[in-house]
């Protein structure tokens, strides 16, 4: 009986034991330190500017907040910023890969770190699979469901818990992302920067370049208090307009639509914030690359601050552009921006949004495949997984 008590005591102690802040990371299998501030910031931006901006915005505006989703995005950005401050402090104090797993292990104990590690790994695995499925679905929609109809006719699956047909496009997409990540963190960073740059250009297009149109407009501008009660009128016979949100913006979509700016009240703003805060999830990739950052104590906190600030501004401006162009109750839940363009007669712009959607799915999935192996690597190094997950390729350092 005494032996059993002693065994249980040791087992219980092992479950709640914590790492010491003086614990040093082994240098025999160190990951390659090659990421600068720009690389880490770009990874964070690529992870956060995901599908949410192209889908979630429409859902929140139409069903939850209306035009006040702008405030919801701002509040969600502030809340995420507070969380990022915690990540920045812990990353500076614990410059080891593993992110939330490491932080939990150091502060709460081994069992909680183990559970958090597997929880995050499963969460990201599902996210990667849904990203591939979403990309395949978008391509299918662009092709007018040609792929779906062909596959269901020639290679049908029974359905139920399975899909109605095998998703070869999603599978190929996952293989491409895995190959890019396996080639090394620096190669992944370069690919992420290229794709993320395209995505940001598309987002800027949505905000400020919705059309390139020659037209004749009459612009009435008040330069000074009128003496005769009339405005000074300037007639521009030729206007070269670049700018969707700016060209089609109509303030009446905030003031004169049913419900006004707050159709769901302030409670709708808070409800929208609770949903939109998930649009900022992704900066965890920064905390997972601390062992690969050249100067993690400086670069990781700065990268978190810079990326969150940029993403918040882009989200707010995008929602402003959308809600000023189309009344909130006419905004599509599933494809807000493409539908808004079609309502304006800009069918060609749908393909530009499609490019942005494809690139953001790629960058988001690349970030996932960067995070998950590093979680498993950290747990294996601590003896919580098999040693095979602890091995690092000599050439790629992955």
What is the share, in percent, of the chain residues with pLDDT greater than 90?
Answer: 13
Average pLDDT over residues 312-326: 88
Higher pLDDT, 394 or 311: 311
Distances (CA, A) of 8 to 2, 11, 117: 10, 5, 24
DSSP string, 41-77: HHHHHHHHSSTHHHHHHHHHIIIIIGGGHHHHHHHHH
Q: How confident is the model at residue 29 (pLDDT cuts 50, 70, 90)?
A: low
Reduce the DSSP state of residue 212 to 3 states and report it: strand
Q: Report the pLDDT value the prediction gives residue 246, as an integer from 0 to 100.
A: 52
User: Are 351 and 132 within 8 A, CB to CB?
Assistant: no
Q: Report the pLDDT value the prediction gives residue 90, as an integer from 0 to 100.
A: 86
Q: How confident is the model at residue 74 (pLDDT cuts 50, 70, 90)?
A: very high
Q: How many residues are given for the chain? A: 398
pLDDT higher than 70, residue 126? yes
Q: How confident is the model at residue 238 (pLDDT cuts 50, 70, 90)?
A: very low
User: Are 288 and 103 within 8 A, CB to CB?
Assistant: no
**Closest listed residue to residue 249, CA positions, set 311, 315, 327:** 327
Most confident by average pLDDT, 206-215, 219-228, 334-343, 370-379: 370-379
For the chain, give the mean pLDDT.
80
Measured CA to CA, the distance from residue 386 to residue 379 in angstroms comes to 9
DSSP state, residue 231? -
pLDDT higher than 90, residue 269? yes
DSSP string, 318-349: HHHHHHHHS-GGGS-SS-HHHHHHHHTT-TTH
Most confident by average pLDDT, 120-124, 250-254, 313-317: 313-317
Higher pLDDT, 13 or 362: 362
Measured CA to CA, the distance from residue 107 to residue 219 in angstroms comes to 62
pLDDT higher than 50, residue 353? yes
Dihedral sign for Cα 182, 49, 123, 377, please: positive
Average pLDDT over residues 65-88: 91
**Closest listed residue to residue 283, CA positions, set 204, 371, 189:** 371
**Closest listed residue to residue 371, CA positions, set 88, 84, 123:** 123
pLDDT tens, 179-234?
A: 999 888 888 888 888 988 898 888 888 776 443 333 333 333 333 344 444 333 33
Average pLDDT over residues 4-27: 66
Q: How many helices (H) and strands (E) does the chain have?
A: 16, 2
Q: Report the pLDDT value the prediction gives residue 219, as an integer from 0 to 100.
A: 33
Token duo for residue 152: 């269901």
Query: H/E element holding 233?
Result: strand 233-242
pLDDT higher than 90, residue 72? yes
Distances (CA, A) of 16 to 11, 138, 197, 345: 9, 46, 44, 61
Q: How many CB atoms lie within 10 A of CB 182?
A: 14
Higher pLDDT, 228 or 14: 14
Instruction: Give Cβ neighbours of residue 365 (< 8 Å, ≥ 6 apart).
Output: 127, 128, 131, 132, 173, 174, 177
Average pLDDT over residues 377-396: 85
User: Are 58 and 328 within 8 A, CB to CB?
Assistant: no
Average pLDDT over residues 26-30: 52
Q: Report the pLDDT value the prediction gives residue 146, as an integer from 0 to 100.
A: 87
Q: How many CB atoms lie within 10 A of CB 340?
A: 26
């Amino acid at each position: 009986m005494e032996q059993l008590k002693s065994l249980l005591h040791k087992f219980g102690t092992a479950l709640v034991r914590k790492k010491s802040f003086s614990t040093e990371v082994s240098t025999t299998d160190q990951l390659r330190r090659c990421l600068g501030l720009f690389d880490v910031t770009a990874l964070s931006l690529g992870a956060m500017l995901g599908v949410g901006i192209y889908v979630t915005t429409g859902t929140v505006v139409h069903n939850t907040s209306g035009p006040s989703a702008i405030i919801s995005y701002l509040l969600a950005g502030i809340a995420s910023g507070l969380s990022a401050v915690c990540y920045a402090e812990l990353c500076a104090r614990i410059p080891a890969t593993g992110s939330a797993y490491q932080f939990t292990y150091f502060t709460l104990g081994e069992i909680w770190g183990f559970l958090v590690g597997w929880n995050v790994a499963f969460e990201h695995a599902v996210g990667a699979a849904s990203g591939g499925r979403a990309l395949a679905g978008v391509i299918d929609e662009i092709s007018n469901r040609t792929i779906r109809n062909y596959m269901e006719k020639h290679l049908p699956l029974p359905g139920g818990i399975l899909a109605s047909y095998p998703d070869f496009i999603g599978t190929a997409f996952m293989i491409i992302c895995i190959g890019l990540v396996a080639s090394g963190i620096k190669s992944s960073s370069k690919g992420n920067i290229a794709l993320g740059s395209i995505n940001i250009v598309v987002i800027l297009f949505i905000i400020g370049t919705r059309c390139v149109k020659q037209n004749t407009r009459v612009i009435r501008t008040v330069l000074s208090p009128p003496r005769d009660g009339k405005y000074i009128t300037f007639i521009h016979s030729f206007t070269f307009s670049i700018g969707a949100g700016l060209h089609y913006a109509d303030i009446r979509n905030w003031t004169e639509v049913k419900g006004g700016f707050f159709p769901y009240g302030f409670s709708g703003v808070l409800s929208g914030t609770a949903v939109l805060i998930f649009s900022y999830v992704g900066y965890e990739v920064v905390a997972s690359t601390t062992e690969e950052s050249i100067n993690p104590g400086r670069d990781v906190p700065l990268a978190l601050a810079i990326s969150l600030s940029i993403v918040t501004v882009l989200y707010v401006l995008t929602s402003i552009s959308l809600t000023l162009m189309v009344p909130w109750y006419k905004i599509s839940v599933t494809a807000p921006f493409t539908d808004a363009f079609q309502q304006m007669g800009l069918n060609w712009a749908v393909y530009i949004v499609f490019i942005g959607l494809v690139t953001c799915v790629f960058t988001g999935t690349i970030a996932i495949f960067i995070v998950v192996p590093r979680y498993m690597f950290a747990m294996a190094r601590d003896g919580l997984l098999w040693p095979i997950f602890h091995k690092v390729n000599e050439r790629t350092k992955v």
